[in-house]
Each structure stands twice: as structure tokens, then as C-alpha cells.
Amino acid sequence: MRLILLGAPGAGKGTQAEILSKELNIPTISTGNILRAAMKEGTPTGLKAKEYVNAGKLVPDDVIIGIIKERLAEDDCKNGYILDGVPRTIPQAQAMEELGIVIDKALSIEVEDQTIIDRMSGRRTCKNCSRTFHMIFNPPIKEGVCDVCGGELDIRKDDMPETVKARLDVYHKETEPLKGFYENLGKLVKVDNQPGIEETTVEIRKALEI
Ligand code: AMP
């Protein structure tokens, strides 16, 4: 299964990707996580990405394509993968096609903007391993501490309310048109966000017939 997850920031792509990844035994590739790791390490890519990420803007397409090309060539991607947060623009999707990256399905998780705004205020991210939690819907066992690696939980700079609004604008303008792109290819599958994480996973399984 080579799957793309589409949806606004905070739609639950990362959370659902993690669940599907375990079930299908394929890796999740999140350009957001790769960029945050690069920023933390201060690599040339990280330094280039920083101003865009912190302002809620999209990182230039050529940087993203370089990351994806390198990552998908790794061994663990041979039997499939889940792309979380990429492609994010039509040119990225076109560039991926030109590279011969063929996907099976693009799954869009549909969520109202207001739900996203409310939800983002509760999101916490592990500073060390990038795993996300939610204060109400998916709390860590111990407050402020990552269940997986024991790292410190933090509010991502780009999860601050003003930046969330900017990211939603970018989503509607640049990323949402990808739904039409994949619909034309007969690959789009849509799922409405459900009140809980597990209910959304149930809908996704139905939609993907897995
Ligand atoms: P995410 O964790 O997917 O919400 O991504 C966080 C931020 O990383 C985004 O707001 C962008 O600044 C940047 N980013 C991640 N993936 C992409 C992409 N495919 N294209 C451009 N920018 C991206």
C-alpha cells in the first residue's frame, strides 16, 4: 500500500498514520517530522526550512522533493509507505509523478476549520521523538512526558493560534486542490472526521477496504 494522507494541519494525519503504519507494517514518512529533525540538528536543509516552518508557510518545493526522493529510496519503503503531509502542492504531486512515484490511494481526512482551531490548542509534541499527544483526546500517561521515549512534551511553535490560522489559509489555497488532482486519477478517498481517534480509524479502514 502506497498511501497519501491529505487533510488540514491538525486533521489527525500523523495520529492515523501511526496507527495504519503499525497495522500495515509499512513506514510513515512525514516531511514535517523530517524538517523538524533537520532544524533541531541545524543541517543546511534545517536552516533553510526554519523561517518557513515557524511562520506556518510552505517550504519550497525543491527542498521537499529532494527529501522525498532520498527517503523513498531507502529499503524500508520497498513494500509500501504512508506519506503524511506530502505532497502539499500540485507541483510537488507532479514532481513525484515525474520521479515515477506511483501511489495507490490518496485519503483525505475532512475536518471543519473551527474544529481544527479548537483542537490545535491541546496538541503537545515530544521534543525528542516528535510523537504527538492531545491534552483531552489522547493524553500522555504522565503529564508533560512522552509515553514512548520519556522526552519533554512541548507546544510546537507553529501550533500557536495565529500560525494555525496562517497554516489553514495555506492549506485551502495550496493543498486542497490536490483533492481534485487525485480525484481525476481515480485515487481519492474521503473520510469525515469522527469525534474520537478510534472512530476515525474505523471509517478509514472501511474507506481503504483494509
Ligand atoms: P506538518 O508537521 O506536516 O504540519 O508540517 C509542519 C510544517 O513543515 C509545515 O507548516 C511546512 O512549513 C513544512 N512542511 C511539511 N511538509 C511540507 C511539504 N510537503 N511542503 C512544504 N512544506 C512542508
Give the integer Cα–Cα distance in Å for 182 and 97: 12
Question: For residue 121, what pLDDT is reported?
Answer: 87
Burial class of residue 98 (count of CB atoms within 10 Å of its CB; 0-12, 13-18, 19+)? exposed
pLDDT of 176 higher than 90: yes
DSSP 76: G
Please give the pLDDT value at position 177.
Answer: 98
- What's the pLDDT at 119? 87
Mutate to test the pocket of ligand 1, among 4, 16, 18, 31 (most ligand atoms within 8 A of CB): 31
Checking phi first, is residue 10 left (phi over 0); if not, alpha (psi -120 to 50) or beta? left
Active site residues: 13, 88, 123, 156, 167
CA of 64 relative to ligand 1 center, distance in Å: 9
Question: What is the spatial order of strands in the sheet that 123-126 belongs to?
Answer: 132-134, 123-126, 153-154
Per-residue pLDDT tens for 38-60? 999 999 999 999 999 999 999 99
What is the position in ligand 1's atom list of the atom closest to the CA of 35?
Answer: 8
Structure confidence at residue 208 (pLDDT): 96
Q: What is the pLDDT of residues 88-130, one digit of tens each?
A: 999 999 999 999 999 999 999 999 999 999 888 899 999 999 9
Q: Rounded to the nearest whole angstrom, what is the distance from the C-alpha of residue 35 to the centroid of ligand 1?
A: 8
What confidence category does residue 199 fall into, taking pLDDT thresholds of 50, 70 and 90? very high
Residues with CB under 6 A from ligand 1: 9, 31-32, 35, 52-53, 56-59, 64, 85-88, 92, 158, 167
> At residue 22, does pLDDT exceed 90?
yes
Full-model pTM:
0.91
As a whole number of Å, the CA-based R_g of the chain is 16
